Chains A and B, each alone.
Chain A
Amino acid sequence: MRAANIMFSFVMIAICGFLYWETYNFTTMFTQDKIGTAFFPRIILALIIITQLIELIKSFKLENSPILPRSMWPISIRLLIFIAVVVLFISLLGVVPFVVNASISLFLLCLILRLPFVPSVLVSVGLSVVVYFIFREGFNIMI
Chain B
Amino acid sequence: MEFITQIFAPGTLLFLLIGGVVGLFIGSLPGLSATMGVAILTPLTFWLPPEQGLAMLISIYCVAIFAGGIPAILVNTPGTPASMVTTFDGYALTKQGRAGVALGINAIYSGLGGIISVIFLMLLAQPLSNFALRFGAAEYFALAVFGLSMIIGVSGQSLSKGLISGFIGLFIATIGLDPITSTPRFTYGQSGLYEGVSFIPIMIGLFGLGEVFYQFLSNGNNIQSTNQLGIKKGVGRILPNKEERKEMRKPFALSAIISPIIGAIPGAGGDIASIITWEQSKRFAKGKKKEEYGNGSLGGLAATTSANNGVIGGAFTTMLTLGLPGDSVTAILIGALMMYGLQPGPNLFVESPDIVYIIIGLLLLANILVIVLGLLGSNLFSRIILIKQEYIWISVVLFSIIGAFALNNSYFDVWIVLVSGIVGLIFRKLDYPLGPLILGLLLGPMAESNLRRAVVMGGEQPLAVFYTSPIAMTLIGISILSLVVPLIRGILRQRKQNA
Contact = CB atoms under 8 A, between A and B. Distances in A.
A14 interface: no
A100 interface: no
Contacts of B406: 135, 139, 141, 143
Contact of A41 (B185, B220, B388, B447): B185
Interface in A1-45: 1, 4-5, 8, 12, 19, 22-23, 26-29, 32-35, 37-38, 40-41, 44-45
Nearest to A54: B160
Contact of A79 (B185, B216, B399, B431): B216
B164 A44 contact: no
Interface in A71-126: 72, 75-76, 78-79, 82-83, 86-87, 89-90, 93-94, 102, 106, 109-110, 113-115, 119, 123-124
A55 B168 CA distance: 14
Interface stretch (B60-68, B176-184, B343-351): B176-184
Interface residues on B, range: 35 or more
A32 B457 CA distance: 11
Contacts of B411: 90, 93-94
B171 A34 contact: no
A51 to B, nearest CB: 5
Given A33-B180, A55-B164, A139 B47 contact: yes
A4 B426 CA distance: 10
B377 to A, nearest CB: 23
Contacts of A72: 217
B60 to A, nearest CB: 16
Given A83-B213, A141-B406, A75 B160 contact: no
Interface stretch (B251-259, B389-397, B487-495): B389-397
Contact of A26 (B47, B163, B185, B401): B185
A33 B454 CA distance: 11
Interface residues on A, range: 35 or more
A48 B411 CA distance: 30
Contact of A110 (B181, B217, B390, B448): B390
Contacts of B183: 26-29, 37
B430 A131 contact: no
A1 B388 CA distance: 30
A76 B390 contact: no
A106 B167 contact: no
Contacts of B452: 33-35, 40
B167 A82 contact: no
A19 B398 CA distance: 33
A135 B164 contact: no
A78 to B, nearest CB: 8
Given A12-B164, A32-B180, A35-B451, A89 B401 contact: yes
A12 B414 CA distance: 24
A93 B390 contact: no
16 contacts: A26-B185, A33-B181, A35-B452, A41-B185, A51-B164, A55-B161, A79-B213, A86-B397, A87-B418, A93-B411, A93-B414, A110-B394, A113-B393, A135-B402, A139-B44, A139-B406
Given A44-B170, A48-B171, 18 more contacts: A26-B178, A27-B181, A34-B455, A35-B455, A41-B171, A47-B163, A48-B164, A51-B163, A75-B217, A83-B213, A87-B418, A90-B415, A90-B418, A93-B401, A106-B394, A115-B391, A124-B394, A127-B394
8 nearest interchain CB pairs? A139-B47, A113-B390, A75-B220, A40-B448, A48-B167, A41-B174, A37-B183, A37-B178
Interface of A: 1, 4-5, 8, 12, 19, 22-23, 26-29, 32-35, 37-38, 40-41, 44-45, 47-48, 51-52, 54-55, 58, 72, 75-76, 78-79, 82-83, 86-87, 89-90, 93-94, 102, 106, 109-110, 113-115, 119, 123-124, 127-128, 131, 134-135, 138-143
